[in-house]
Amino acid sequence: MKLLYLGDVVGRSGRVAAIEAIPQLRRDLKLDFVVVNGENSAHGFGITPKICAEFYEAGADAITTGNHVWDQRELIPYIDGDPRLVRPANFPRGTPGRGAVEVPLPDGRKVLVAQVMGRLFLDPLDDPFQALEDILSRHRLGVTVAAVVVDVHAEATSEKMAIGHALDGRATLVVGSHSHVPTADAQVLPHGTAYLTDAGMCGDYDSVIGMGKAVAISRFTKKIPGERLAPADGEATVCGVYVETDDRTGLARAVEPVRIGGRLSRAWPKG
């Protein structure tokens, strides 16, 4: 199986770039499954049902979110009815939506997509490690599901790495989101799980993590209320990670970064 995960889509620039790129990426990389993190796709804050539909129409198979999942309130009554939209699994019991979804492929195989949110420097949520243990106890990689993709939406690189190693051998891919900056540590861990600390964002990198520079700088240099942050609207770089799996086990055979367009250097799978 060939999988692609695209990092946090930020604003209109990132959204347009990702939607335009997905069909080409599916074709050129012969992809079986695409996951998109869409939590910043609605003007930088949250996601709407309309944008979900646009991602699905472009060829996304599942969408993850993060700490901004509820910024667009219209998502709250929608999320329970979308079987391919994921919010962090370690939100409190009773929160709308799903922390993990099984998405069927045309050939009958299923891919499990799960997400947790980190607790270091973010909200003090339930234990992300235990949340993932609970999810994986109900699924067996290579038996009940053909692949397991885990999105770790977290600030701290150490927390993301710890989760990656804790799941090594039980997930196909553990990939970090939220930081909006791609890391250079794509690797297959010792027991066969593909890992990347952060896939980066799909957005304009002439910015401060996707937001306009002037307002972002002002927030750091002046302790007074200012303008609301707004996404930068220049040409976006589409950032993600590509994984090839062993169809027998569901574990990773190869993992490589993907970066196209915009200001960052291009990265493309060698295979």
Instruction: Please give the positions annotated as active site.
Output: 68
Could you give the CA distance from residue 179 to residue 260 in angstroms, rounded to a whole number? Answer: 18
175 is written with which tokens?
A: 């990939």
Distance of alpha carbon 15 from alpha carbon 135, whole angstroms = 30
176 in Cβ contact with 154 (< 8 Å):
yes
The answer to whether the CB of 170 falls within 8 A of the CB of 136 is: yes
List of residues 6+ apart from 167 with CB closer than 8 A: 132, 136, 150, 174, 193
Residue with tokens 């970066």: 259
Say what the alpha-carbon torsion angle 132, 197, 195, 263 is, to the nearest 10 degrees: 130
Q: Where are the beta strands (DSSP E) in 207-250?
A: 238-245
**Maximum Cα interatomic distance, the chain, rounded to a whole number of Å:** 58
Tokens of 45: 């804050």
